[in-house]
Chains A and B, each alone.
Chain A
Amino acid sequence: MSVARKALEMTQAAADVIVQRAGARYEAHRQEIFRSADRMFGGLMIGQWIFAIVIALTFSPYAWQGKIKTVHMHVWIALFLGAAITSLPVALAWFRPGEPLTRHAIAVGQMLWSALLIHLTGGRIETHFHVFGSLALLAFYRDWPVLLTGTVVVATEHLLRGILWPESVYGIPNPEWWRFLEHAFWVVFCISFLILSCRRSQTDMRVMAERGAELEALSENQWRNSSAVDRAAADGRGDR
């Protein structure tokens, strides 16, 4: 085998090692981001649950029939439906962090929280901003399919409500079947840029991982070279 060929094979092997290391670094970084976002959403879910209960107790604690008061349905909704929405995402964030199921369940849960908060605040326009805030937070995963899951939940909720209870969404009795698309359009408008941002982040992460792997290989190489020089120097001293 020629020296040139041997050198080529060694270079190829070194490049393969760098690619492998870059892949491992990239995956480790992604996992770190997924786990960190899972933890954040776990806390956020519990925070939203407490917030919903406070909202219900503050603004609609009782239903009235003349002078007779009973606990308002909103309080039970906040307590039990809030607990139900929070339960699975928090359990998955705790027991199975970093897994695809966890982040997609969190995306579903987060969008359901938007729907519940809109109900609890009586459909206030301002509460609808929670949808867009949530999508922005889901972009923390830097994993664009999570944003699609969130969008599908919003669109489905609007579509079903538009079919079963149209006036609650559009304020008119017989809206066109595609009216939900108009609402979904603004969500799509928002996530288009978030998806772009996620993809750029992923590209940046890959570049960072590759540079890190190259630097690692370079420093290892230098360490090997300096070790060889040290050994040669030590051998030379021994011969004398």
Chain B
Amino acid sequence: MERAPASDRSRLASRLAWIAAAAWLVAVSGAFAIVWKYKSTPSAEGVLAPARWPASSAVARSANRATLLLFAHPRCACTRASVAELARMMARFHHRIEARVLFWTPRDGPSDWNATDLWSSAARIPGVTVLRDEEGREASRFAVATSGGVVLYDARGRLLFQGGITAARGHEGDSFGQERIASLLTTGAADRADAPVFGCALEQEPPARMALAGASTTTNQGEER
């Protein structure tokens, strides 16, 4: 069999390289579309907080300013962005809100369950109190199923906002949630009082289902792990 001349082989190789480049571009673009889809799909559970601060809650509510609760899974990587956004929000609104971060803690989890960078990051934010939420009882009372879920109540215990404060899963930056909270705190009104939540599940069962089950339990407060 006769071999193709060098120039023909070179032309063929060049054509193949261009085809490979086009296929690569299509494949990589498709993969990025999947990544975007994953990052922009919020939790189906979301937040369904009660309209009034639950009487059974053991968390202290501020009597003279709004109270913000951020529910977090101490090991959820996506919630790192929510804590970073909370820090930004507190820098701006520390004189208008009191914030508490409640870390979901399992009943029979290891002793170092909450010894994570997320706990330390939250504890470092001025004006924020970090609490353990044993078995997610408080999350159940406030019907928050997803790590990164936020509820905001005014000084009289009325629900102002429920939802997330990040624009996507584990993605820092401006978001609907932050804009709405900022608007509520500065003007008293917002286009909506909710926002999608992105993060890991706090419970294996949706907490809303067991909301009443743990109504008589209390939450261990304090910054100990």
Chain B residues whose CB sits within 8 angstroms of the CB of A108 once the complex forms: 25
A124 CA / B171 CA spacing, docked (Å): 8
**A168 part of interface (Cβ distance < 8 Å):** yes
Are A122 and B172 in contact, CB atoms less than 8 angstroms apart? Answer: yes
Any chain A CB within 8 A of the CB of B76?
yes
Q: Which of B49-57, B201-209, B211-219 contacts A (4 or more CB under 8 A)?
A: B201-209
Instruction: Please state if B36 and A161 are interface contacts (CB–CB under 8 Å).
Output: yes
Give the A interface residue count (CB, 8 A).
46
A62's partner among B14, B36, B77 (CB-CB below 8 A) is B77
Judge whether A172 and B28 touch: CB under 8 Å.
no
B21 at the interface (CB under 8 A from A): yes
The CB with the most chain B CB atoms within 10 A, among A67, A77, A81, A108, is that of: A67
User: In the bound complex, do residue B32 and residue A112 qualify as a contact, i.e. CB atoms below 8 Å apart?
Assistant: yes
Q: A165-B36, A171-B179 are in contact. Are A66 and B202 (CB under 8 A)?
A: yes
Instruction: Give chain A residues whose Cβ lies under 8 Å from the Cβ of B147.
Output: 64
Q: Which of A65, A122, A157, A167 contacts B81 (CB 8 A)?
A: A122
Which residues B54-88 have CB closer than 8 A to chain A? 73, 75-78, 80-81, 84
B101 contacts the other chain (CB 8 A)? no
Closest approach, in angstroms, between the C-beta of A102 and any C-beta of chain B? 8
Is A73 an interface residue when CB atoms closer than 8 A count as contact?
yes
- Are A101 and B175 touching (Cβ within 8 A)? no
* Contact between A112 and B28, CB atoms less than 8 A apart: yes
Taking a contact as CB atoms closer than 8 A, the residue among A61, A64, A84, A157 that contacts B27 in the complex is: A84
Is B170 an interface position by the 8 A CB rule? Answer: yes
Chain B residues lying within 8 Å of A36, measured Cβ to Cβ, are none
Are A168 and B173 closer than 8 Å at their CB atoms? yes
**Cβ of B102 < 8 Å from any Cβ of A?**
no
B contacts with A, residue count (CB < 8 A): 45
User: Contacts A77-B35, A84-B27, A88-B21 given: A64-B171 contact, CB under 8 Å?
Assistant: no
Instruction: Kindly list chain B residues whose C-beta atoms are within 8 Å of the C-beta of A123.
Output: 81, 167-168, 171-173
**How far in angstroms is the closest Cβ of chain B from A161?**
7
CB–CB B167/A171 < 8 A: yes
B20 lies within 8 A of chain A by Cβ: yes
Contacts of A64 in B (CB 8 A): 73, 75-76, 147, 200-201
A105-116 vs B, CB cutoff 8 Å, 1 = contact: the mask equals 100100010011
Closest chain-A Cβ to B37's Cβ sits at a distance in Å of 9
Q: How far is the CB of B32 from chain A (nearest CB, A)?
A: 7
Chain A residues in contact with chain B, CB under 8 A? 59-69, 72-74, 77, 80-81, 84-85, 87-88, 91-92, 96, 99, 101, 105, 108, 112, 115-116, 119, 122-125, 157, 161, 164-165, 167-168, 170-173
The list of the 6 closest CB pairs from A to B, nearest first, reads A171-B174, A60-B77, A64-B200, A123-B171, A88-B24, A65-B201
